[in-house]
Amino acid sequence: MFCRGTPPEANFLFKHALVRDAAYGSLLRSQRQQLHARIATTLETEFPDKAAAQPEVLGHHAEEAGLAAKAIGFWQKAGELAVRRAANLEAIKHLRRALSLIGGQPDTVDRSRNELIILSRLGPALMSIHGWASPEVGVAFEEAAVVAKRLGNSVELAPPLLGLWLYHTSLGQLERAEGIGAELFEIARKNDSPDVLLQAYHAAFPIPWLRGALSEANTYIEALLALYDEAKHDQHRYVYLGHDPAVCALSIGATVQTLLGYPDRAARLEDRALTLARRLRHPPSLAHALALVCEAQWARRDLAALAATAGELAALCEDQTLPPPRAAAAMFNGWVMAHSGKISEGILLVEQGLSAWQRIGIQHFLPRNHCLLAEAYLAGQRYTEGLAQVSLALKAAEQTGVQYNDAWIHHLRALFLVHIEGMNSNNVEADLKTAIKIAQAQTAKGLELRAAVCLARLWRDQGKQQQARELLAPVYDSFTEGFDTHDLKEAKALLVELAS
């Protein structure tokens, strides 16, 4: 052995790892356990800073010493510290180590409570690495729900229920997710729990948004934001879903407001979402915000803002293992490139992003993703391929019940049919009228205006100028803000032309 430094601050090194292994292997099992126990005890009592910073070291020594109960606590703490650093692969390893030991402990209430905590931390870490729809995620939260029900304390059931909610939502199983959301409200009511109520709202607003019930979604978003306190709810992002609830509400709220026809409000919500996410210094929450803000900026055709947001998301994903946000970054960056002159490169990037989404297995964003690729194909004049993507978007929307993009999907199909069948095709006009009808039913003035502009332009080219103006003017006049946005500028210019 070699000594480096002066005891007691010295390090002792074996000449070779094989010598170390031979020496370790020559010890009786009881001797090894005694030595591991002495090391664990010494680290815990004499070097508390090291023990606090590296609980996994103590977990290893306690486990090798046969001190399973202590080892579980150290592995659990190591996993929780890794979660806070967004080191999710490391967190999964530590938490699974704790779970492997907990099964051998006596079947007590304390054991069940610890198992629930560990499973509830494991689920969000698995989501960050494998995506929300991963079977591993579903298994972790199902096991956690079983343990929570065994405890009989319904408040403790909330974290795994939220995990199951997100799992089913991401698979496009909206009715199942909605039922879980209703259960969360019932738990909050029975236990008079503001924390569970906050998370019940967290599960409430995405479902109506996805279904196109935009006003209902906005009501739930406002309810969550009214309850949220940044300091009081600081731990929620580690316990529930792996991201901050207000960051989620503000980000989705931006898309909802864009669709409702309030683009200025949407931009303010985006700023609030990103400011909060950056202040929290929690990479998964920031990635969640950036990906959802991309959605809002795409919805209102803010090319410059989307380029910046998607670029920041891609850079963040280079440093973090976050598959769903990475796939979103690829798709939105590709869309920007396709609409900025780099068509071939953009199409390739969107295709790669869509393939990544499909590997991850998340279903509820498939209608949007097929639209992104279809639009990239439209920019590249690949009309047959683009129309095929529109058909896939419609099929995905029908299968999942995700309908907030239905108006745009029909509008997009009309844009392809103009090139394939000609502008006088009855199918073109029928799709645009369907888009307007859907948008009106969803109070999605943003999408209604865009479809009305397209149909008014079609009627203008067919010599129906008065009819075109009568269609477009009332929709445009219903707006109270956002007059410097792309869609409203386009509508205004067309109305001026139709009036001349």
Give the tens place of pLDDT for each residue, 300-336: 999 999 999 999 999 998 876 678 899 999 999 999 9
Cα distance between residue 195 and residue 353, in whole Å: 36
pLDDT for the residue numbered 329: 95
In a domain, 441, yes or no: no
Do 186 and 259 reside in the same domain of the chain? no
In a domain, 468, yes or no: no
pLDDT for the residue numbered 63: 86
Cα 110 from chain centre: 33
Do 176 and 217 reside in the same domain of the chain? no
The partner residues of 13 in beta bridges, in order of sequence, read 2
Global pTM reads 0.81
In a domain, 156, yes or no: yes
pLDDT for the residue numbered 369: 96
Cα distance between residue 460 and residue 463, in whole Å: 5
Do 221 and 286 reside in the same domain of the chain? yes
In a domain, 100, yes or no: no
* Total domains present in the chain: 2
pLDDT for the residue numbered 7: 81
Q: What is the pLDDT of residues 356-403, one digit of tens each?
A: 988 888 889 999 999 999 999 999 999 999 999 999 999 999 999 999
Do 221 and 244 reside in the same domain of the chain? yes
Do 248 and 190 reside in the same domain of the chain? no
Q: What is the pLDDT of residues 120-134, one digit of tens each?
A: 788 778 877 777 667
347 pLDDT above the threshold of 80: yes
pLDDT for the residue numbered 213: 97
pLDDT for the residue numbered 425: 86
Do 196 and 252 reside in the same domain of the chain? no
Domain that holds residue 128: 121-204
478 pLDDT above the threshold of 90: yes
Do 184 and 213 reside in the same domain of the chain? no
Cα distance between residue 220 and residue 248, in whole Å: 12
Do 224 and 199 reside in the same domain of the chain? no
280 vs 423 pLDDT, higher one: 280
Boundary residue ending a domain (159, 183, 204): 204
In a domain, 348, yes or no: no
Do 235 and 296 reside in the same domain of the chain? yes
In a domain, 12, yes or no: no
Cα distance between residue 388 and residue 375, in whole Å: 12
156 vs 273 pLDDT, higher one: 273
Cα distance between residue 310 and residue 195, in whole Å: 32
In a domain, 138, yes or no: yes
Do 199 and 213 reside in the same domain of the chain? no
